[in-house]
Amino acid sequence: MPSPAALLAWYDRNRRRMPWRTLPGETPDPYRVWLSEIMLQQTTVTAVIPYFERFLTLFPTVETLAAADETRVMAAWAGLGYYARARNLHACAREIANLGGKFPTDIETLRALPGIGPYTANAVAAIAFNQPVIPVDGNVERIAARLFAIETPLPAARPALAKAAATLNHTPESHHRAADFAQALFDLGATICTPRPLCALCPWSPHCAAHRAGIADQLPRRAPKKTRPTRHGAHFWLQDSSGQVLLRRRPPSGLLGGMTELPGTDWRATPFPAQEAHRLAPMPAAWRHRGKVHHVFTHFELHLDVYAATVPAIAATGFLRPAAALHGEALPSVMRKCVAVARQEPA
DNA sequence: TACCCGTGGCT
DNA sequence: TAGCCAAGGGT
């Protein structure tokens, strides 16, 4: 069994600094821990940092976040992806505010809050409240798969990996450093036990079954992925003579739920010929093809044609915003690409 | 259980 | 370059 002390000693020399982390001796703020954990779900540290800083400026406490309009929260989240996280973040903040602004400390109560699953409940309990539980993310799954040479492919191996990971912090001394231990696992997974591991630098390599067997770089195994289908659509930049642009709000749930978009067609398997696209435009106009947008979602690939027109007055469903003030809108990345193409800006 | 849900950087 | 994948949750 690998030694918790060896990992903590490695962490004391190699810990990464991040805006949501405390220095040794400081007391963590549960709001910052929670906010960072939601943002970091399936999202890289470098992508999160500017959003985390901006959120703390706009919403410095859970109460200010709870009191904010949902549209402001969605606009602040725009570009970070997985927008259900932002809706759940806001709903969760309101529940916490109703609890007097105090975060629950026990796993079960945390787990019941919107947007908090088994991973995040353990992460908040460990990092904010120093409880000796292991948040099992992709890093920890990879470490556990290698330490114990678990060859079952993901996702079927998940229960076994979680069970193995739960044994890692097993001494009274490391229990006192539960927050450090959890973050040490993240840092080990992010810098040493990476998909292509640097076993020569690993404090646990003497106890790693996969390293001993020479198969560390092959674990964890994964089930083969499904192919990603392609979809097509067309979106329309419609401007009036005063410089107002027509926008729409997407349905509150589902893909890009609640986010702002340029009006467009549905997204289907076959392309839209120009004639058909013009017929589906928000109103008749001298539509000009401005270019194409390519965007890859998790489960399909999207090709969009972008058309633009200027009319004296806009008569169509949606809402109008000044073309110069779109930066304040909750435009997801795919729509920002469309805007850039419509304006002939470099992507 | 299996699928839905974004984005951008890296190899 | 085409895939891989990153501190997952909801249903």
Tell me, yes or no, whether A182 and A250 share the same domain: no
Lowest mean pLDDT among A105-109, A221-225, A236-240: A221-225
Q: Per the domain annotation, does A197 fall within a domain?
A: yes
Residues 6+ apart with CB under 8 A from A143: A165, A185, A188, A189, A193
**Cα pseudo-dihedral A140, A143, A144, A149, rounded to 10:** 160
Tell me, yes or no, whether A24 and A160 share the same domain: yes
Range of the domain at A105: 4-218
Q: Which nucleotide is nearest to A254 (CA to C1')?
A: B5
Q: Per the domain annotation, does A122 fall within a domain?
A: yes
Q: What is the mean pLDDT of residues A143-163?
A: 95
Tell me, yes or no, whether A200 and A298 share the same domain: no
Contact A246, A316 (CB under 8 A): yes
Tell me, yes or no, whether A249 and A323 share the same domain: yes
As annotated, the active-site residues of A are 37
Q: For position A104, which CATH number holds?
A: 1.10.340.30
Kindly tell me if the per-residue pLDDT of A34 is higher than 70.
yes
Q: Per the domain annotation, does A288 fall within a domain?
A: yes
Tell me, yes or no, whether A90 and A113 share the same domain: yes
Q: Per the domain annotation, does A157 fall within a domain?
A: yes
| Residue A273 neighbours by CB distance under 10 Å | 11
User: Where among A183, A218, A253 does a domain terminate?
Assistant: A218
Tell me, yes or no, whether A47 and A137 share the same domain: yes
Q: Does A34 contact strand C, using a CB cutoff of 7 Å?
A: no
Q: Does A19 contact strand C, using a CB cutoff of 7 Å?
A: no
Contact A308, A278 (CB under 8 A): no
Average pLDDT, chain A: 96
Q: Which nucleotide is nearest to A335 (CA to C1')?
A: B6
Tell me, yes or no, whether A208 and A274 share the same domain: no
Q: What is the mean pLDDT of residues A31-44?
A: 98
Kindly tell me if the per-residue pLDDT of A346 is higher than 70.
no
Q: Does A222 contact strand C, using a CB cutoff of 7 Å?
A: yes
Residue whose CA is minimally distant from C10 C1': A115
Kindly tell me if the per-residue pLDDT of A322 is higher than 70.
yes
**The predicted structure's pLDDT at residue A347:** 52
Q: How far is the CA of A73 from the C1' of C10 (A)?
A: 20
Tell me, yes or no, whether A195 and A265 share the same domain: no
> What total of structural domains would you count in chain A?
2
Q: Does A296 contact strand B, using a CB cutoff of 7 Å?
A: yes
Q: How far is the CA of A116 from the C1' of B10 (A)?
A: 29
Tell me, yes or no, whether A281 and A328 share the same domain: yes
Q: For position A298, which CATH number holds?
A: 3.90.79.10
User: Where among A163, A190, A218 does a domain terminate?
Assistant: A218
pLDDT tens digits, A127-148: 999 999 999 999 999 999 999 9
Tell me, yes or no, whether A273 and A141 share the same domain: no
Positions of strand B less than 7 angstroms from a protein CB = 1-9
Q: How far is the CA of A6 from the C1' of B5 (A)?
A: 38
Q: Does A18 contact strand C, using a CB cutoff of 7 Å?
A: yes
Q: Per the domain annotation, does A347 fall within a domain?
A: no
- DSSP H helices in chain A: 4-14, 30-39, 45-58, 62-67, 70-77, 84-98, 107-111, 118-129, 138-147, 158-165, 172-175, 178-191, 209-213, 274-279, 333-342
Contact A262, A342 (CB under 8 A): yes
User: Where among A179, A198, A218 does a domain terminate?
Assistant: A218
Q: Per the domain annotation, does A223 fall within a domain?
A: no
Q: What percent of chain A has pLDDT over 90?
A: 97
**The predicted structure's pLDDT at residue A247:** 98
Q: Does A14 contact strand C, using a CB cutoff of 7 Å?
A: no
Tell me, yes or no, whether A212 and A250 share the same domain: no
Kindly tell me if the per-residue pLDDT of A227 is higher than 90.
no
One-letter identity of residue A198 = L
Please give the distance of CA A334 from its chain centroid, rounded to a whole number. 16
Tell me, yes or no, whether A8 and A137 share the same domain: yes
Contact A13, A187 (CB under 8 A): no
Q: Per the domain annotation, does A331 fall within a domain?
A: yes
Q: How far is the CA of A66 from the C1' of C5 (A)?
A: 32
